[in-house]
Amino acid sequence: MLSENEIAPDFTLYATPDQTISLSELKGSAVILAFYPADWSPVCSDQMALYNEMLAYFKKYNAQIFGISVDSKWCHLAFSQSRNLHFPLLADFEPKGEVAKKYGVYEDKEGECKRALFVIDKEGVIVWSYLSPTAINPGADGILTALESLK
Amino acid sequence: MSLKPAVDQNDHVQGTKTATLEIVEFGDYQCPYCGAAHPILKEMMEEFGHQIKFVFRNFPLSEIHQFARPAAVTAEAAATENKFWEVHDALFEQQSQLSTNFLLQLAENFKVDIAQLKENETLQNKVDSDFESGMRSGVNGTPTFFINGVKFDGGAVDLYALLKSESH
């Protein structure tokens, strides 16, 4: 798993059925990457639903958040609509898990992303990373502390 | 993970204010898991309330629960008239009926000034600061409990069981 002070590998992934996002386009703002195993986990403890409530706080630090899983762009669209998400979910779908593998957070046995967080500064350098036990939603306190350190 | 900030005079407290055992719940009035936890916590407080300082902080997931925040504001409005816990109980006990009309009716029943419910910055700020406290303390869903400032990895049933086992 990549860690502090390493360059965040660039990627281009679908964010909507017809739009892609590249990490390199985002230089100039901080980026939070939240790798997670799968869409459609239970509602009240859902990590993406939690971050969805916190967008205003992330914005204060000029940070953009992206969820990443191996689900397809159509699955992400349905999930996103169902949870009323206001931030992009990226589809690490083809080749499957390629980006997760670059970041060292792919779970081969399940064929899913591990539950991992990266905070990347505006120059594209990782300032904080965290691997969470898969069954545990890591919350946002670590992200906020990392964003604060950027100031 | 620890509770940030610590419990202070802005918090709603029930049980025994001077107790050395402090339990903080982060909850959402529309969350079904919080609704299910409520009667267990009531029973726990009946049995151990003399030993517990119990605090509730708001953690509304507004995007998935449209009445969570208005319900939190209603309870905070009631708090200004020292009726927080009555309204808090009523909200969880009648969770399935949550709606705009229900909240107005509830406020009326408890004689809470309805004018307060709309765009009262102080009440909105209280809900925001509770939520921010949850974020900073590592709350990852509701309900989440803290015992003496330390995150407890379990639900209301586990919490109650822990107290029972400690008391024997």
In a domain? residue A24: no
Give the closest of A47, A49, A144 to B63, CB-based: A49
Q: Is the pTM of this model over 0.90?
A: yes
Cβ pair A17, A74 in contact under 8 A: yes
| Residue A4 belongs to some domain of the structure | no
E strand map for A8-133: 12-16, 19-22, 30-35, 63-69, 89-91, 106-107, 112-113, 115-120, 126-132
Task: Please tell me the distance in Å from B136's CA to the nearest CA on chain A.
Answer: 5
Q: Is A44 a catalytic residue?
A: yes
Dist CA B4 CA B6 (whole Å):
5
Q: What is the CATH number of the domain that holds A66?
A: 3.40.30.10
**pLDDT averages per 10-residue partition of chain B, 168 residues:** 94 96 98 97 97 98 94 95 97 97 95 80 95 96 96 96 89
User: Which is more confidently placed, A27 or B95?
Assistant: B95
φ, ψ of residue B137 to 5 degrees: the values are -95, 0
Nearest CA in chain B to A83: B64
Determine the residue among B26, B33, B65, B135 to mutate to test chain A binding: the one whose Cβ has the most chain A Cβ atoms within 10 Å: B135
CA distance B65 to chain A (A): 10
Tell me what pLDDT residue A45 has.
64
Q: What is the set of domains in chain B, with CATH numbers?
A: 12-167 (3.40.30.10)
Domain total in chain A = 1
The CA distance from A14 to A82, in Å, is 19
* Domain, as residue range, for A123: 12-17+29-149
Cα B166 from chain centroid? 24
Answer whether A50's CB lies under 8 Å from B140's CB.
yes
Residues A78-87 have a mean pLDDT of 94
Q: Note the Cα A43 to chain centre separation in Å.
A: 18
Give the nearest chain B residue to A136 (CA atoms).
Answer: B140
